[in-house]
A and B are shown apart, each in its own frame.
Chain A
Amino acid sequence: MIENFKINSSEIDKIKKISKEERNFRINNLNFFNEKGFPNKRQEDWKFSDLREIVQKNFKKLNVNKVNSKVKKINLIKDFDHNYIEVVNGELKSSNFKHEEKNKIKIKNFKNDNFLQESKDNPLICLNHALSDKGYHIEIEENYKFKKALIIYNLFTEDLKENILNSRNKIKIGKSSELHTIDLVINDSKYKFINNVYENIILENNAVYKNICIQNEKNDGYFHKFSKNKLASKSKYSSFIFPSGSKFNKLDLEFNLEGEDSECNLQSASFLNKDDHQEIKTKMNHLAPSCKSYQKVKNVLSSYGKGVYQGKIYVKDIAQKTNAYQLSKALLLSDNSEFNSKPELEIYADDVKCSHGATSGNVDEDSIYYLMTRGLNRKESVKLLIDGFLSEVVDMIKSNSIKKFVRSKLQGQIHGY
């Protein structure tokens, strides 16, 4: 039981070659974290996900030490051609951009050079600022469209044991450039661990970024990701995420639509069962006129699965002609599963189209009856309905080969139901 988890500042001294400024930044953040500890339900942002309680219940100790794992070879996906980078326990290990013009792409280990304190509200972000010393940093030059998708293989090794990993990633897409990424989590871990990520994505004018996130193997990981996304004028961001299978997962996604006519489309589909606890939190900040945002969050919950969606849409006074839409749908398969949603609108402009909706309910009995009269048993019928419910998001993926790949991943997961 770790009642009062504190991290010694000597951990920061282990990080090599840092300036005085960086050291101060890290120490400050470490102090914030040590003061507050893991966030608990008394903090508004964490009221449905009491991480402190969850950590206390499940961890006897926590290891901040670096892990030097022997890395097996990652089995690359053969379903379609792609570029890739390999990230092991948060650390960039290799990259391969064989389908692209190399001089258009910069890839390196992430090195922080921004030591402005942005917020102290989320202790996990402070923890990340204090300790993260790995991650990737990708920059795409202007006017370059990727020919093939980039797969980010995120491997978690089997020797992880009560570790807490902190990593930081950044992707910057230059003017009128386009990048498609697929974030794939491969989890070989056998024990519990915490993975705490800070992500920063920047789209310059007219840039296009499409992302698919697949994390669906059952695992004992406790994940937190804070993602900060900046959209410049006429840029387009879309993300289809399929997270599930982790003991705990919180995705805290912030989008700043800073340039006119920028667009953000976020859709998720999750199947949560057997004590999975997952929260998706989005904050859409409409800061410029004529931007569009769309969020659709679908959750299927069974045996003690718990899902949360907190979605906030903020429209600044100058952000006229905003078009913002948010929808959350949950399908509850058992009485002991739970779904909470908290939509929030904060609008200071008058000429806007803004709407949100949330539904949650059981599987439709008439549908089950119909399917059963066609020879399917109850379980098969429910499975087909779950698949149908979640597939709606998969179907939005344009590339057929990628769609097929995602679908098979998702079906494998439902199969266990």
Chain B
Amino acid sequence: MLEIKNLKASINNKDILKGLNITIKPGELHAIMGPNGSGKSTLANVLSGKNGYEISGELKYQGENLKEIPIEERAQKGIFLAFQYPTEIPGVNTNNFLKTSLNKVKKAKGEKELDTLSFLKLLKEKSSELGIDEKMLSRQLNVGFSGGEKKKNEILQMKILDPNLTILDETDSGLDIDALKTIADGVNSSRDKKKSFLVITHYQRLLNYINPDFVHVLSDGKIIKSGCMELAEELEKKGYKKIN
């Protein structure tokens, strides 16, 4: 699904990723943990195609060179990033945006676009699964949403767009216990043989719910250790300083 070899990324003359390697196969869920500022969000941004980075190394998604695929096509080909800090977009109606987005992705896949009625049906179903109040969806996109509501809205988009590779950037931060469980359920119910996940998190709690296949520690722009769930438990106990 995703192959990253010796990835280096810098911005404004600051080196952030310094030779990162990771391979994610279809069906796998990888967790990345790491101290603040170690480059986790940068990795997520680079994978989604954000401009402004200077990049070297190999980036392959489903066998294709990711660097050559524009941002919107990555989304259309099934890469989804749930933002650490979802952008507030005044004036843009959330419902409308979700429908536009879904239909863009569907169209690119050669699938039939949804009319308003069937879209609303799908939306109703997915939002009730996540315990999202539909009134929120008639508001402006992310504007005035609480921290948790923003995160839920990201997961709702994941559910609607049904991507192949989902990157969650600290989607669990700032969630109450119930919401955390809801989101974990959302991830678990999306998992299958074909879908892959890259979950960036600071906490073991989410990982307890979603059972990662691999856990990596990212520090100063590199993966310094990889393992499985036990590594997350060890980190929780000892902190990053004692890991190497």
Q: Which of A181-189, A287-295, A368-376 contacts B (4 or more CB under 8 A)?
A: A368-376
- For A, the interface residue count at a CB cutoff of 8 angstroms equals 22
- The answer to whether B89 and A371 touch across the interface, beta carbons within 8 angstroms, is yes
Among A364, A369, A389, max chain B CB count under 10 A is at: A369
Task: Output the least CB separation between A163 and chain B (Å).
Answer: 39
Which residue in A373, A376, A377, A388 is a CB contact (below 8 Å) of B81? A373
Within the assembled complex, what's the spacing in Å between the Cα atoms of A6 and B72? 58
Q: Which of A25-33, A219-227, A379-387 contacts B (4 or more CB under 8 A)?
A: A379-387
Chain B residues near A385: list those with CB within 8 A: 89, 91-92
Chain A residues near B140: list those with CB within 8 A: 388
Which residue in B48, B75, B86, B91 is a CB contact (below 8 Å) of A391? B91
Within the assembled complex, what's the spacing in Å between the Cα atoms of A388 and B100? 14
Chain A residues near B72: list those with CB within 8 A: 372-373, 375-378
Tell me which residues from 376 to 417 in chain A have a Cβ below 8 Å from any Cβ of chain B. Answer: 376-378, 380, 384-385, 387-392
Q: Which of B27-35, B101-109, B116-124 contacts A (4 or more CB under 8 A)?
A: B101-109
**Is B161 interfacial (CB-CB < 8 Å)?**
yes
**Is B144 interfacial (CB-CB < 8 Å)?**
no
Within the assembled complex, what's the spacing in Å between the Cα atoms of A385 and B105? 19
- The answer to whether B89 and A369 touch across the interface, beta carbons within 8 angstroms, is no
Per-residue interface assignment for chain B, residues 51 to 94, with 1 indicating a CB less than 8 Å from any chain A CB and 0 otherwise:
10000000000000000001110111000110100110111110
- The answer to whether B101 and A388 touch across the interface, beta carbons within 8 angstroms, is no
Chain A residues near B50: list those with CB within 8 A: 369
Knowing A384-B97, A384-B100, A388-B140, say if A374 contacts B157 (CB, 8 Å). Answer: yes
- The answer to whether A376 and B104 touch across the interface, beta carbons within 8 angstroms, is yes
**Is A366 interfacial (CB-CB < 8 Å)?**
yes
- The answer to whether B75 and A375 touch across the interface, beta carbons within 8 angstroms, is yes
**Is B49 interfacial (CB-CB < 8 Å)?**
yes
Chain A residues near B76: list those with CB within 8 A: 375
Question: Which residue of chain A lies nearest to B91 when distances are taken between CB atoms in the complex?
Answer: A388
Which residue in B51, B90, B101 is a CB contact (below 8 Å) of A374? B101
Chain B residues near A370: list those with CB within 8 A: 83, 86-87, 89
- The answer to whether B49 and A392 touch across the interface, beta carbons within 8 angstroms, is no
**Is A367 interfacial (CB-CB < 8 Å)?**
yes
- The answer to whether B90 and A375 touch across the interface, beta carbons within 8 angstroms, is no
- The answer to whether B75 and A372 touch across the interface, beta carbons within 8 angstroms, is yes
Within the assembled complex, what's the spacing in Å between the Cα atoms of A366 and B97? 16
Knowing A384-B97, A388-B140, say if A375 contacts B87 (CB, 8 Å). Answer: no
Chain A residues near B86: list those with CB within 8 A: 370
Interfacial residues, chain B to chain A (CB-CB below 8 A): 48-51, 70-72, 74-76, 80-81, 83, 86-87, 89-93, 97, 100-101, 104-105, 108, 140, 157, 161
Interfacial residues, chain A to chain B (CB-CB below 8 A): 364, 366-367, 369-378, 380, 384-385, 387-392
Q: List 21 A-B contacts (CB under 8 A).
A: A369-B51, A369-B87, A372-B49, A372-B72, A373-B49, A373-B74, A373-B81, A374-B75, A374-B104, A375-B76, A375-B101, A375-B104, A375-B105, A375-B161, A376-B100, A378-B72, A380-B100, A384-B92, A387-B92, A388-B93, A389-B90
